[in-house]
Amino acid sequence: MIDFKNPTFVKLAEVDNAVGMQMVGDFLIDDEDIFSSFKGSRDMVIFTSRRVIAVNVQGISGKKRDYSSLPYRKIQAFSVETAGTFDRDAELELWFSGLGKVRFEFNSQFDVKKFSKFIGRYIL
């Protein structure tokens, strides 16, 4: 489960959705599609047409994994921050009803404006 006391996923880089499908394909429902997949050092965050799935890879071998499913309908607010000259990370913060805030830091290639439209379409 996501630790909402330290809910930050850092240095996420976009990867092919086939990688995301390998990680969470068995958890998707029939009419759910992957929009974008991101990978950190070991962890992954997958944005689908219905939710955010955060995968926390644990242990030395990485075989143990924690999957957290965060439905868009529970998002009350969101914030985006574009990458700058000195701060090269883009950021997305999501506030979930009854859970708290989750913060994602993406590398500088992340198109935060495009993603803001995607999130807005599902929660507004």
Structure tokens at 103: 């913060």
Query: What pLDDT was estimated at residue 1?
Result: 47
Query: What pLDDT was estimated at residue 75?
Result: 93
3 state DSSP class of 118: helix
Q: What is the pLDDT of residues 67-100, one digit of tens each?
A: 999 999 999 999 988 876 556 678 889 999 988 8
Question: What domains sit in the chain, N to C, each tagged with a CATH number?
Answer: 8-123 (2.30.29.50)
Query: What pLDDT was estimated at residue 5?
Result: 57
pTM of the model: 0.86
Which of residues 10 and 77 earns the better pLDDT score?
A: 77
Distance of CA 48 to the CA centre of its chain: 9
Residues 94, 97, 99, 102, Cα dihedral to 10°:
0
- Non-local (6+) Cβ contacts of 32 within 8 A are 48, 49, 50, 51
Q: What is the pLDDT of residues 17-46, one digit of tens each?
A: 999 999 999 999 999 999 999 998 888 999
Q: Is the pLDDT of residue 3 over 60?
A: no
